[in-house]
Chains A and B, each alone.
Chain A
Amino acid sequence: MKIKSLAAAVFMLCTLFSGIDSARAEWNASSPVSVISREDGSGTRGAFVELFGVLGEIKGKKADLTTLDAQITNSTSVMMTTVAGDAYGIGYISLGALNDKVKAVKINGAEPSIENIQNGSYTVSRPFNIAAAPNTDNAVALDFIAFILSPKGQEVVKAGGYIPVAEQKEFSSAKPEGKAVVGGSSSVSPIMEKLAEAYKTVNPNAKLELQVTDSTTGMISALNGNYDIGLASRELKAKEIEQGLKPVVIATDGIAVIVNKNNPVENLTNEQVREIYLGNAKTWDEVSK
Chain B
Amino acid sequence: MIRQAWNEKIMQGVFFVAACTSVLAVAFICIFLFHNGTLALSEIGIWDFLSGTVWRPNIEIFGIFPMIVGSVYITAGAVLTGVPIGIFTAVFMAFYCPKKLYRPLKASTDILAGIPSVVYGFFGLVVIVPLIRDLGQFLGMGGNGNNILTASILLGIMILPTVISVTEASLRAVPSLYYEGAAALGATHEQCIFKVVVPAAKSGILAAAVLGMGRAVGETMAVIMVAGNQARIPSDIFQGVRTLTANVVIEMGYAADLHRDALIATGVVLFAFILIINLFLAYLSRSK
Contacts and interface: CB of A to CB of B under 8 A. Distances in A.
Contacts of A23: 134, 137-138
Contacts of B225: 73, 75, 78
A72 B256 contact: no
Interface of A: 19-21, 23-24, 31-32, 34, 39-43, 58-59, 61-64, 68-75, 78, 81-82, 85-86, 88-89, 213-217, 237, 239
Given A41-B253, A82-B144, A74 B224 contact: yes
Contacts of A41: 57-58, 251, 253-255, 259
B142 A58 contact: no
B282 interface: no
B138 A39 contact: no
A279 B73 CA distance: 25
B27 interface: no
Nearest to A33: B144
B138 A20 contact: yes
A64 B254 contact: no
B156 interface: no
A59 B56 CA distance: 12
Given A59-B59, A68-B231, A82-B125, A40 B251 contact: yes
B56 A64 contact: yes
Given A31-B137, A40-B251, A86-B145, 17 more contacts: A39-B229, A40-B57, A41-B254, A41-B255, A68-B231, A70-B230, A71-B230, A71-B240, A72-B230, A72-B242, A74-B250, A78-B225, A82-B129, A88-B144, A214-B254, A216-B254, A217-B253
5 contacts: A19-B138, A41-B254, A58-B56, A85-B145, A215-B254
Nearest to A16: B135
Contacts of B251: 39-41
B229 A72 contact: yes
Contacts of A85: 129-130, 133, 145
Nearest to A72: B229
Given A71-B230, A72-B228, A81-B126, A61 B59 contact: yes
B152 interface: no
Nearest to B139: A23
B10 interface: no
Of listed A21, A63, A68, A213, residue having the most chain B CB within 10 A: A68
A216 B125 contact: no
Contact residues of A: prevailing secondary structure: mixed
A34 B137 CA distance: 13
Interface residues of B, number: 38
B284 interface: no
Interface of B: 56-61, 125-126, 129-131, 133-135, 137-138, 142-146, 224-225, 228-232, 240, 242, 249-251, 253-256, 259
Contacts of B254: 39-43, 214-216
Contacts of B130: 85
Contact of B56 (A31, A63, A75, A86): A63
A68 B56 CA distance: 9
Contacts of B126: 81
Nearest to A240: B256
Contacts of A74: 224, 249-250, 253
Nearest to B121: A78
Given A23-B134, A23-B137, A213-B253, A71 B56 contact: no
Nearest to A62: B59
Nearest to A42: B254
B229 A89 contact: no
Contact of A68 (B137, B142, B230): B230
B124 to A, nearest CB: 11
Contact of B133 (A19, A21, A75, A86): A86
Nearest to B249: A74
Contacts of B250: 39-40, 72, 74
Given A23-B137, A40-B57, A73 B224 contact: yes
A40 B224 contact: no
A23 B138 CA distance: 5
A71 B144 contact: yes
Given A23-B134, A69-B230, A34 B143 contact: yes
A214 B255 CA distance: 10
A23 B142 CA distance: 11
Contacts of B56: 40, 58, 63-64
A51 to B, nearest CB: 16
Contacts of B129: 82, 85
Contacts of B145: 85-86
Contacts of B125: 78, 81-82
B135 A20 contact: yes
Nearest to A28: B137
A237 B256 contact: yes
Contact of A71 (B60, B229, B253): B229
